[in-house]
Amino acid sequence: MGQARHPLSLLLVLAVAAVALTTGGCGSSDDGSEGTTTGGGGTTSRAPAGASAQNCSATVDEVADLSVTGVDCEEGRDVAALWTAQRSCRTPSGASRVSCSVGNYRCLGASTDRGLAVSCARPGRSISFVAQRRRG
C-alpha cells in the first residue's frame, strides 16, 4: 500500500523547486540582498523573502489555500486569477503535471487528492495555491 503525502508538503516542494529553477544562483557575485529605493535616493532594507510568507484569503473561483512569499496577497490573487484564465495552464489530458508562464512568473502544477497544487515563482517571490483540476 502506498504512503499518502500531505498536500502542503507537496506545495512546499513545488515552491522550492520553482524558486531553484528560476534563480539559478550558481556562481553569482550578487550577495542576494535587495533594497527598495526611497524618494530621497537612499535604500531601505527589506526582509528576506522567506520572512514575509503569509496565507491569504482566496477570492478567486476554483482556488484555495493561497500563500505568498515576498509579495502581497493582492498580487497573489491576481496571479491565481490569471493562471485560472490561461488555456496554456490547463492540464493536458492524461497528464498529472503542468507548467506555464503567468506574466513574470513560472508556474508548476501537480495533481493531488485535493486538486492541482500550483506554485508560481520568480526570483525572491513565490505564490502557491490549490486549484480544481482543469483539463485542456
What residues does each domain of the chain span? Answer: 7-21+48-131
In the numeric block, the cell 495555491 is attached to: 129
What is the distance between the alpha carbons of residues 10 and 2, in angstroms, rounded to a whole number?
16
Q: In what order do the strands lie in the sheet with 54-56?
A: 54-56, 63-69, 125-131, 115-122, 105-112, 97-102
106 φ, ψ (degrees, to nearest 5): -105, 125
Q: Give the length of the chain.
A: 136
Mean pLDDT of 94-120: 92
The pLDDT assigned to 114 comes to 86
Binning pLDDT at 50, 70 and 90, where does residue 71 land?
very high
- Is 74 in contact with 54 (CB distance < 8 Å)? no
Binning pLDDT at 50, 70 and 90, where does residue 93 land?
confident
Q: If you compute the radius of gyration of the chain from its CA atoms, what whole number of angstroms results?
A: 16
What is the distance between the alpha carbons of residues 75 and 124, in angstroms, rounded to a whole number?
14
Alpha helical stretches, state H, the chain: 7-23, 73-85
Mean pLDDT of 48-76: 83
Task: Please choose, from the candidates 125, 124, 119, 127, the residue with its C-alpha nearest in 3D space to the C-alpha of residue 68.
Answer: 127
